[in-house]
Structure 1
Amino acid sequence: MTFHDLPENLRQTPLDTPALRADAVDLFLDLRDRADDSLLIGFCDEAHRLIAPVVIAGVEWRDEAARRRSFLARLAEAGVSNGAAGVVVGLSSFRLITPPLAELWRREAAAAFGAEGIELLGLCVAGRHRVVEVEASSPSALATAEPVEVVAAAARIAAAAA
């Protein structure tokens, strides 16, 4: 997505669909950000309109759980300070962010922001050429899913990192 592709009323457009969230992540995480393993936090108001995007470079996606949770909790507190009611999260890297790792970040972001009353609207993974949203899933959903569905979901996320 480029700035020329944006709707004229972007500031009034709710990020209510996976396609819009992926476009926003694509827009705010350029190739340099993706090469730097950057995280996008897009704070949104109660109507799911973007308030402010924040990009943090040099995130260690495979960091230990306690550090990751503490990091996300501090970001959630910043959201409260900025009056956020919702958040769109983007993970980016030129290296592979595996489906289990992306799902882990999605679950932990939902917990951290949810604890502060901020709804996780979506989490996307941005690779070199593509952005995909990580769909909410539970271990039981993965356990009962057809192997083809699990492989297809993994392929979509892996393609985003390619």
Structure 2
Amino acid sequence: MPAMSYQDLPDDIRTTPLTDPALQADVVDLMVGIHERRGGAVGLMVCDDGDRGIQPIVVNDLPEGAGEDELLRLLELVLPVVAAARGGLLVGRGRRGLLPTDHDRRWHQATVEACHRHGVRLLGFHLASPEGVARMPDPLETAC
């Protein structure tokens, strides 16, 4: 697969639904910069009811070893607002390496479950490292 980057974003990105995995990777690439990736930041793109990105949120103080409880505190602040607007969420997890670990899988699962509890569409969960951006697999069952 060719390397994607934020430079591949279409001119009409503000009106384009973020449902295509390649486009999602480009958005995560833009949202979670190299410095944030090395520091283990998490990026959330809040989307409207048409899955169009409306507000990026990047939190820099969640190191790679942070537990799911720290992620869940952040999600519990954001998800009720997204749910009230019938929106969706795109997640990018900054990290040093690109291969998923068990820790990444736990973060992904915690995100899937939190979105399900709040009735929010999880559009995608991506790992972002200095080497690139990789999508975690979709849940086996569509939760929302």
User: Match for residue 117 of structure 1?
Assistant: 119
Residue 67 of structure 1 deviates from its aligned partner by 4.1
The RMSD of aligned alpha carbons is 2.2
Tell me by how many angstroms 1:101 deviates.
1.9
Q: TM-score, normalised by structure 2?
A: 0.81
Structure 2 gap ranges (5+): none
> Does 1:14 find its partner at 2:17?
yes
Whether the 8 Å contact between 1:106 and 1:136 is mirrored in structure 2 is no
Residue in 2 that maps onto 1:136: 138
Name 2:37's counterpart in structure 1.
34
Matched position secondary structure for 1:110: helix
| Bigger Rg, which one | 1
Q: Percent identity?
A: 26
Residues 99-108 or 115-124, more deviating: 99-108
SS in 2 for 1:51: strand
More helix by share: 1
Q: Can you list the C-alpha shifts for 1:80-128, whole angstroms capped at 9, x where unaligned?
A: 46x2511000000225774322221111111112212211111000011
- Displacement, 1:34? 1.1
- Residue 63 of structure 1 aligns with an amino acid whose one-letter code is A
Which amino acid in structure 1 is aligned with residue 132 of structure 2?
Answer: R
Structure 1 runs not aligned, ≥5 long = 139-162
1:7 maps to a residue whose letter is: P
